[in-house]
Amino acid sequence: MIKIDGLKKMFNNSIVLNDIDTAFEKGKTNLIIGQSGSGKTVLLKCILGLFEIEKGKIIFDNKILASMSSIERSKLRQDMGMVFQGSALFDSMNVIENVMFPMKMFTDKSNDEINERANIAINRVNLVNSNSKFPSELSGGMKKRVAIARAIVMNPKYLFCDEPNSGLDPKTSILIDNLINEITKEFNITTVINSHDMNSVMEIGEKIIFLEDGIKKWEGTNKDIFNTENESVTKFVYSSELFKKVRKVYLKK
């Protein structure tokens, strides 16, 4: 479980995140939603420890991030998996090398064991016959799959995804969403996804927090989002005519 308590983040004297309180639960797919520039990515990078925070606490399973020693932080990082918006695969390595990288770096397992584990992760994301391909030879969806495989190869406790659907077609987006959701359940991971994709919100958002101008305006589940009267949320989620109609039909039912 990840708990956030009164988090405040500033850049050059301007407040980017203010007084964020929330908790991301284990075994659930937690979503951070909001408009571009609302502070989603900054929040994710604060949780990851890539940005220092001005105020508040980030607590990983009862351990405060800021109070951790460098050894504890290193250990925590090995329990984290991250899928970046652009996949962030290493250009100089092929698929299997990318997936093997965290294990080669942080474990003393033999090459055969590492190779076997990497292949399990690659098979889990349904990527076949691509082990020797380089990132430049992969499609957007395939890159995302490799990034997910790399993120789960060390059996992480926490999985973070920054807009995993960006640049993907609707069908592939749903496949990636379902894959992340399945992995969350299968490995009992605390998954935090940054998204502004409404399909993801409706499909896999077991816990959703809505950010606006760096402030948490709403928190709930994908079921609650249909019934909410919060103006900021409804304006954002039901901005398209299609979703307005979907909501009407849902509420009638």
Partner 1 sequence: MKLLFHFGRYFLMIQKTFKKFTKWTMLKELIFREIDDLIIRSIGIISFLSFFVGGVVAIQTAINIDNPLLPSYLIGFTTRQSIILEFAPTFISVIMAGKVGSFITSSIGTMKVTEQIDALKVMGVNTYNYLIFPKIIALTLFPFLITIAMFLGIFGGYVACVSGGFSSHADFVEGLQLDFIPFHVTYAFIKSFIFALILATVPSYHGYFMEGGALGVGKASTTSFIWTSVSIIIANSLITNILLT
Would you count residue 105 as binding partner 1 (CB under 8 A)? Answer: yes
C-alpha torsion angle, residues 250, 161, 165, 154 (rounded to 10)? -120
Query: Between residues 3 and 45, which has the closer beta carbon with respect to partner 1?
Result: 45
CA distance 214 to 246: 28
CA distance 26 to 18: 25
Would you count residue 82 as binding partner 1 (CB under 8 A)? Answer: yes
- Least distance (Å) between residue 99 CB and partner 1: 12
- Least distance (Å) between residue 102 CB and partner 1: 5
Would you count residue 34 as binding partner 1 (CB under 8 A)? Answer: no
Among 6, 11, 63, 86, which residue interacts with partner 1 (rule: CB under 8 A)?
86
What is the token pair recorded at 148? 């997910």
Would you count residue 48 as binding partner 1 (CB under 8 A)? Answer: yes
Would you say 204 and 191 are in contact if contact means Cβ atoms under 8 Å apart? no
Among 14, 69, 91, 249, which residue interacts with partner 1 (rule: CB under 8 A)?
91
Q: From the CB of residue 19, how many other CB atoms can be counted at a distance below 10 Å?
A: 14
Would you count residue 192 as binding partner 1 (CB under 8 A)? Answer: no
CA distance 73 to 47: 12
For residue 252, the one-letter residue type is K
Among 66, 106, 155, 221, which residue interacts with partner 1 (rule: CB under 8 A)?
106
- Least distance (Å) between residue 190 CB and partner 1: 15
Residue 223: partners with Cβ closer than 8 Å, 6 or more residues away: none
Residues that bind partner 1 (CB under 8 A): 45, 48, 50, 73-74, 77-78, 80, 82, 84-86, 88-92, 101-102, 104-106, 160
